[in-house]
Amino acid sequence: MIFAFAFFHMQNHKFTKMALLFLTFLCLITSSRAAILNRIGINYGRLGNNLPSPAKSIELLQSMNAGRVKLYDADHEILHLLSGKNIEVAITVANDEISAIASNQHLADQWVYEHVLAHYPSTKIRFVLVGNEVLSSTNTVQDMQIAKDLVPAMRRIKNTIKSQGIRNIKVGTPLAMDMMGTTFPPSNGSFKPEMRELMIPLLKYLNGTRSFFFVDVYPYFAWAESRANNQTGIDLGFALLRSGNMTYTDPQSGLVYTDLLDQMLDSVVYAMAKLGYDDVMLAIAETGWPHEGDSDEFGANKENAAEYNNNLIKKMSATPSNGTPARPGAVIPTFIFSMYDENQKYGPATERHWGLMNPDGSAVYAVNITGKVNPSD
């Protein structure tokens, strides 16, 4: 994940402190005919040497009532274990597979046969994500080539899927907020100028296939950055999606914001609109809050992580959907980062502490994925 360097200035801060909600697990048994609307997804990253087995992990996802899971690969064993489960699945083409697939339809066919058709439809694969944060690294010649090959690779993967008559799998690619040049006010959102050339074909492709623009969006990083720069930066409650009294009115659009996540999402909406794409749908590929960090990483604790994730779940699983101020009512598929702490990640301590679950399968803190059931769906 990548820091969102953005400076958010608040106005009209007034809010009453809300008691933290400590919610316990809810294991909702859904009937076979009932589907979960606005399913909450969970990222299942596996860069840890102490993690439960895939079989145990799938059981855990079910007991948590997760509606979707996102994999950073397309692991055969995990996809097999997800067979027959009421969990929608997002799988990922590795960054280093992109250029070969872009240049050769046969390789795209092979990838789709091996990782999609071998498991679909009994495993509910619904998203194929091509690469991860591909546009965040464009420093080397090779990285730049992968960035240029991204849309051609997506197109080839989609061609194969379409040629099989499959219509309920979307092809996308998760991007980090470092693609943004401006995020504030939201109506002033724009991509970095150097991203334009790569962004236009991607938006054209996503719009043309009615797919989602997947973003990794972390209010935590924006808040931590604002706090590091200025003690009176973004209010913590605003970043934690605390519903309260605090609002920010965008002076240009007149839209009223009640949390930082909406501001960040709408900055992307406005950035896309500036390039002529007004209605490409958004999805959140990653969001979350670290429950532990180094001594100088403020705000990374269990209380904040529990509050953010429980507020997020309530917000994103509401029916009808809340959307954002610029997109009222829009459904935004959302994947929480992450299932587990991943102890083999580098960097500051927060990088290794995003997990909802301990290695023994107990909860790091209480989360309540409610999964509202709509029998008519």
Binding site for ligand NAG (CB under 6 A): 9, 14, 16, 23-24, 26, 181-182, 185, 188, 190, 207, 230, 232, 245, 276-277, 314, 368, 370
Q: Give buried/exposed letters for 353-368 (b at 16+ CB in 10 A, else e).
A: bbbbbeeeeeebbbbb
Q: In this complex, which beta carbon is closest to ligand NAG, that of residue 60 or of residue 146? A: 60
Spatial separation of the C-alpha atoms in residues 14 and 11, rounded to whole Å? 9
Q: How do 256-257 and 327-328 pair as beta strands?
A: unpaired
Dihedral angle sign, alpha carbons of residues 71, 73, 74, 75: negative
Query: Least distance from C-beta 274 to ligand NAG, angstroms?
Result: 10
197 is catalytic: no
- Minimum Å distance from CB 237 to ligand NAG? 12
Q: What whole-number distance in Å separates Cα of residue 370 and Cα of residue 27?
A: 8
Smallest distance, ligand NAG to C-beta of residue 122, A: 30
Q: Which is nearer to ligand NAG, 245 or 344 (CB)?
A: 245
Q: Which residue number, 86 or 370, has a Cβ lying nearer to ligand NAG? A: 370
Cα(58)–Cα(64) distance, integer angstroms? 10
Angle in degrees, CA 122, 319, 238, rounded to 5: 110
Q: From the CB of 271, what's the least distance to ligand NAG, in Å? A: 10
Of 190 and 304, nearer to ligand NAG (C-beta) is: 190
Active-site hit among 88, 97, 225, 286: 286
Instruction: Evaluate whether 282 touches 268 at the Cβ level (below 8 Å).
Output: yes
Q: How far is the CB of 205 from ligand NAG (least distance, A)?
A: 10
Identify the active-site residue in 97, 133, 225, 297: 133
Minimum CB distance to ligand NAG smaller for 2 or for 23: 23
| Residue closest to 236 by CA, chosen among 297, 298, 182, 176 | 298
- Rg of the chain in Å (alpha carbons): 20
286 catalytic residue (yes or no): yes
CA distance 265 to 314: 17
Please give the positions annotated as active site.
Answer: 133, 286
